[in-house]
Amino acid sequence: MTFPAWVPTVVEAIYFSAAVLFIWGLKRMSSPRTARQGIVWAGVGMATAILATFFLPGMHNLGWMVGAIAVGVVLSWIIGRRVPMTAMPQMVALFNGMGGGAAAAIGALELIRFNAALLLVPDTASIQPEAWAGAAAGLSPVELVLAFVGVLIGAISFTGSLVAFAKLQGWMDRRFVFPLQRWVNLAIFVVAIVCGAIALAAGIDGHAFAWGWLTAFIVLALVFGVAMTLPIGGADMPVVISMYNAFTGLAVAFEGFVLQNEAMIIAGMVVGAAGTLLTQLMAKAMNRSLGNVLFGNFGGGGGAAQQEIAGSLKPIDANDAAVMMAYAERVAIVPGYGMAVAQAQHKIWEFAKLLIDRGVKVKFAIHPVAGRMPGHMNVLLAEAGVPYDLIEDMDDINPEFPNTDVALVIGANDVVNPVARTDKNSPIYGMPILDVSKAKNVIVIKRGRGKGFAGIENALFYADNTRMLYGDGQAAAGELVTGLKSLDG
């Protein structure tokens, strides 16, 4: 296909405006009121950039291209529309992994092309010693290095994200741990780097490299992504997904440099930086360092004995609980992922609305890592129709707990465990928690006597001011609603 000479310039301009729209869109996403427009603007930028790409000079394989785009878009669109909100974290992991895989594939393709070109010009160095043979193959040494790094990061992000997806989806329930795992993983990584470096050194030197080195490099990078993610527990997954998100961004930026595509460089780099910051924020909210997440073993046996918890579990029935809250002045609802699993958020919101109608001041208290990802609980509550101005962050609500008459905990466990403040031997010691135990009364809706994600007894449940409302989250919430309604006749 041939186009007029000005077409590439227009395409460049469209890429530029796409980069502007991405940054603008992300900026709009920083407030709930404008967030929706933000993603739409970014979407407009993306759509025009993709369309414009068809008009670049010298594009072949258009049939394959349109077909692959159609299949990829339709499949993802259907999956993305259908998944329940509780499954959002693994969806992010899945789509992120696809992006990482794409970046790695682009890098691999560029390297293959480069090497194939070098194979055609066997020994340029002897003919023109001053000319760098690689130039004939179309990549500068910097581009060559970045292509390799992009493949490495993209491949790790690809398989790592897929493992994270499988774990959160419940396809791989347990952590996969064996002795000396860290060293095995390190060995895989080092060998991958060595294979890549051998190929890279040859390429920079202007010689073609043996295909085996490149293949081994890519395969080992893919294997490393799996090996690195396998031992990480479900609780730490959000941090890992966020990190892979940043990885993919970087890989995209590097491959963008190789392809001389500014939109990819800017978008990739913005995501790389944003993802890195987000990863730090999440790790901090969970009181975990990134190193700890990647190489530590959480809840993995040993350690000093934890303090015994005194007291007993005191049950309450749903009607009494409903009455208690109906005549309270302030009620704080503390939801956790368990609420979402039980699909109780709609009933809880119905209950909260009834309380609000009676003049009770109701707030929702959200721990930064409630749900499976920071902000996930907000999404789940929003889905149930809870307005975001009733939702308080941990830092805002914690000073209010002493003035709260009733705190209703549903499906949350570790994030309200006062042991995090008091018991130095506890694995969760030091983790920021919601000070639910300081409320005048606490009601905990719980299915049974199980422990939290971290496998630790919860001192809150044994406290004097705590009553346990046993039952499935949704059923219990339903009983609360009935109890409240019966008060009015």
Partner 1 sequence: MITGFLALYIFMLAAFTGYEIISRVPVILHTPLMSGSNFVHGIVLVGAMVALGHAQGAVNIGIGVVAVLLAAGNVAGGYVVTERMLEMFKTSKVSAAPSPEKKR
Ranges within 21-40 binding partner 1 (CB under 8 A): 22-23, 25-27, 29-33, 35-36, 38-40
Q: How far apart, in whole angstroms, are the C-alpha atoms of residue 467 and residue 239?
A: 33
**For the purposes of burial, counting CB atoms within 10 Å of the CB of 186, is it exposed (0-12), middle (13-18) or buried (19 or more)?**
middle
Question: Does 278 interact with partner 1 (rule: CB under 8 A)?
Answer: yes
- The verdict on 385 binding partner 1 (CB under 8 A) reads yes
Q: Is 414 a catalytic residue?
A: yes
In the complex, the smallest distance separating the C-beta of residue 344 from partner 1, rounded to whole angstroms, is 17
Tell the burial category of 13 from Cβ atoms under 10 Å away from its Cβ (0-12, 13-18, 19+).
exposed
Note whether 119 binds partner 1 by CB under 8 A.
no
Q: Based on CB atoms, which residue is closest to partner 1, 52 or 459?
A: 52
- Contact status: 94 vs partner 1 (CB under 8 A): yes
Q: Which of 160, 231, 268, 336 binds partner 1 (CB under 8 A)?
A: 268
Contact present, 367 and 373 (Cβ < 8 Å) = no
In whole angstroms, how close is the CB of 342 to partner 1 at the nearest point? 19
- How many residues at the interface with partner 1, by CB under 8 A? 122
> Per CB under 8 A, does 379 bind partner 1?
yes
| Residue 434 DSSP label | -
Query: Active-site residue among 317, 396, 414, 472?
Result: 414
Distance separating the N- and C-terminal Cα atoms of the chain:
77
2 binds partner 1 (CB under 8 A): no
Q: Does 81 bind partner 1 (CB under 8 A)?
A: yes
235 binds partner 1 (CB under 8 A): no
How far is it, in rounded angstroms, from Cα 325 to Cα 356? 11
- Options 263, 286, 318, 480; binder of partner 1; rule CB under 8 A: 263
Cα–Cα distance, 489 to 487 (Å, whole number): 5
Considering only residues 347 to 376 of the shown chain, the ones binding partner 1 according to CB under 8 A are 366, 368, 371, 373-376
- CB 275 to partner 1: min, Å: 6
Do the Cβ atoms of 106 and 259 come closer than 8 Å?
A: yes
Residue 117 DSSP one-character state = H
In whole angstroms, the minimum distance from the beta carbon of 218 to partner 1 comes to: 10
Q: Please give the single-letter amino acid code of residue 319.
A: N
Output the furthest CA–CA distance in the chain (Å, rounded).
Answer: 99
In 10 A of CB 146, how many CB atoms? 22
Answer yes or no whether residue 121 interacts with partner 1 by CB under 8 A.
Answer: no
The single residue listed with the structure tokens 């992300």 is: 26
CB of 418 to partner 1, least distance (A): 22
Catalytic annotation, residues: 414
